[in-house]
């Protein structure tokens, strides 16, 4: 199998969760690759996520929006970019039930700008587009065969609809202009650097504060989780060995109910699940399950290494050591956090936080943590 050798890689959304692990891994393993990390530093990002790379001579960070055609064209030309790994997106499903226009703007229009810049500059040898398992829509509870890469896309929430929309543009630029595209569709990822609006870091931070863990609906929804380092390795494999024009699921067959995730976290914090879990109003639509066929990527030589018990312990350990990574995130710990999408910081409705009950002791004023 021929191995692709990139020279100058543009990684979008690099100060976010997954792309920071990919960036740090590539910088560590391939000193000959130049990496330009582009991020608009939205509320969920953190430059600290890129600390391991920041003093490497082959690393450069650029603050900017993928929606700016001038900036993207300029970067592709001046940095002689030959490879794009496109992670930047609005990623929180709960927010997409609120302000879904931001999702269309960043996820569809932003991707379109990148693709058009690739067409104009004509120098891109790989465009790796990062999509999600959610584009397939929910899998039947009793299905024994997972979605394979040729399955129909049936997104069921505004987030996944914009991700599916972006994929259509990527496919069209591959077909119309011969852009060498590869698309990935991943299961849920967990680990250090993940902004605590997402389930696992949110439950960990709540447990650290002695607060109850709110579960949407009855907790019977099933998700598949991969540890961030395994996913970073999957991108390393796809970058070098992925075939142009192909889609790769990044998945695991191991599934877990949301209620069991909460119970596992309670166990590690020595909390009684009976007293520490509460069931709250469900999302407007909450897919029951995303089940992927993971064979195609395995055929490229990748497989997951970190088992759940180990990954969860490592994640808890990291959040315990870095309780203030993003500053005050109490608004993100709400059962249904809704970012107000105002530029210049994080803006949440804090009133709901004060209504949340604590497992131990009284409520604290203004939702402030005990930490
Ligand atoms: N987290 C998961 O479990 C998961 C699973 C499957 C697929 N994905 C996909 O992986 C990618 C990364 O997800 P994540 O969870 O790491 O996201 P994240 O929310 O942690 O980070 C997204 C990053 O993109 C940046 N960004 C957003 N819009 C931008 C724009 N217009 N210009 C420049 N930067 C912008 C943000 O500032 C942020 O740093 C996304 O495309 C997501 O759809 C995520």
In a domain, 370, yes or no: no
Rg (CA), the chain: 20
Query: What total of structural domains would you count in the chain?
Result: 1
- pLDDT tens, 216-274? 999 999 999 999 999 999 999 999 999 999 999 999 999 999 999 999 999 999 999 99
| Gap from CA of 44 to ligand 1 centroid (Å) | 9
- pLDDT tens, 102-136? 999 999 999 999 999 999 999 999 999 999 999 99
- Which of 16, 86, 199 has the most ligand 1 atoms within 8 A of CB, as the residue to mutate? 16
At residue 39, what are phi and psi to the nearest 5 degrees? -155, 140
Pocket of ligand 1 contains residue 339 by CB under 6 Å: no
| Gap from CA of 364 to ligand 1 centroid (Å) | 32
Q: Which residues contact 230 (CB under 8 A, 6 or more apart)?
A: 304, 305, 306
Band (361; pLDDT cuts 50, 70, 90): very low
Residue 26, token pair as written in the block = 């590539």
In a domain, 206, yes or no: no
| Gap from CA of 13 to ligand 1 centroid (Å) | 6
Closest atom of ligand 1 relative to the 67 alpha carbon = 31
In a domain, 258, yes or no: no
List, as one string, the DSSP characters of 35-96: EEEEE---TT--GGGGGGGTT-TTEEEEE--TT-HHHHHHHHHHTT--EEEE------HHHH
Pocket of ligand 1 contains residue 52 by CB under 6 Å: no
Residue 21, token pair as written in the block = 């692990």
In a domain, 176, yes or no: yes
Rounded Cα distance, 277 and 207, in Å: 10
Q: Tell me what pLDDT residue 347 has.
A: 55
At residue 64, what are phi and psi to the nearest 5 degrees? 180, 170
Taking the model in full, what pTM does it have? 0.93
Residue 120, token pair as written in the block = 């104009």
Residue 193, token pair as written in the block = 């650097």
In a domain, 117, yes or no: yes
In a domain, 322, yes or no: no
Average pLDDT, stretch 182-192?
98
Pocket of ligand 1 contains residue 173 by CB under 6 Å: no
Hey, is 357 helix, strand or coil?
A: coil
Give yes or no for residue 352 having a pLDDT over 90: no
| Gap from CA of 55 to ligand 1 centroid (Å) | 23
Residue 170, token pair as written in the block = 């990527």
In a domain, 41, yes or no: yes
Q: How far is CA 334 from CA 66, 103, 166, in A?
A: 29, 21, 29
Pocket of ligand 1 contains residue 20 by CB under 6 Å: no
In a domain, 326, yes or no: no
* Residue span of the structural domain in which 76 resides: 8-192+223-250
Among residues 118, 132, 127, the alpha carbon closest in space to that of 164 is found at 132
Pocket of ligand 1 contains residue 67 by CB under 6 Å: yes
Q: Tell me what pLDDT residue 98 has.
A: 82
Using CA atoms in the order 352, 353, 357, 359, what is the torsion angle rounded to 10 degrees?
A: 160
- pLDDT tens, 36-78? 999 999 999 999 999 999 999 999 999 999 999 999 999 999 9
Pocket of ligand 1 contains residue 6 by CB under 6 Å: no
């Amino acid at each position: 199998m021929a191995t692709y050798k990139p020279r100058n890689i543009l990684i979008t959304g690099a100060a976010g969760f997954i792309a920071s692990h990919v960036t740090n891994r590539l910088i560590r393993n391939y000193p000959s690759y130049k990496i330009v990390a582009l991020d608009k530093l939205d509320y969920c990002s953190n430059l600290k996520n890129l600390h391991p790379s920041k003093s490497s001579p082959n690393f450069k960070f650029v603050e900017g929006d993928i929606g700016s055609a001038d900036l993207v064209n300029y970067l592709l030309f001046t940095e002689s970019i030959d490879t794009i790994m496109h992670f930047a997106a609005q990623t929180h499903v709960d927010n997409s039930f609120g302000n879904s226009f931001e999702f269309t703007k960043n996820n569809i229009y932003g991707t379109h700008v990148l693709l058009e810049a690739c067409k104009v500059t004509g120098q891109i040898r790989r465009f790796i587009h990062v999509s999600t398992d959610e584009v397939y829509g929910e899998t039947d509870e009793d299905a024994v065969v997972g979605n394979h890469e040729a399955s129909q896309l049936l997104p069921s929430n505004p987030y996944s609809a914009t991700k599916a929309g972006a994929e259509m543009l990527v496919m069209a630029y591959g077909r119309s202009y011969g852009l060498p595209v590869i698309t990935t569709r991943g299961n849920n990822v967990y680990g250090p650097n993940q902004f605590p609006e997402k389930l696992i870091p949110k439950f960990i931070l709540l447990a650290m504060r002695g607060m109850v863990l709110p579960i949407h609906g009855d907790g019977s929804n099933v998700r598949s989780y991969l540890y961030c380092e395994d996913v970073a390795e999957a991108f390393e494999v796809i970058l070098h060995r992925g075939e142009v024009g192909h889609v790769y699921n990044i998945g695991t067959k191991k599934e877990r109910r949301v209620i069991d995730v909460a119970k596992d976290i309670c166990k590690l914090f020595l909390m009684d699940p009976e007293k520490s879990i509460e069931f709250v109003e469900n999302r407007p639509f909450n897919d029951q399950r995303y089940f992927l066929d993971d064979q195609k990527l395995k055929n490229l030589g990748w497989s997951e290494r970190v088992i759940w018990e180990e990954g969860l312990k490592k994640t808890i350990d990291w959040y315990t050591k870095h309780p203030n990574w993003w500053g005050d995130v109490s608004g993100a710990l709400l059962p249904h956090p809704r970012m107000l999408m105002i530029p210049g910081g994080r803006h949440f409705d804090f009133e709901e936080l004060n209504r949340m009950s604590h497992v131990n002791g009284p409520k604290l004023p203004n939702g402030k943590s005990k930490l």
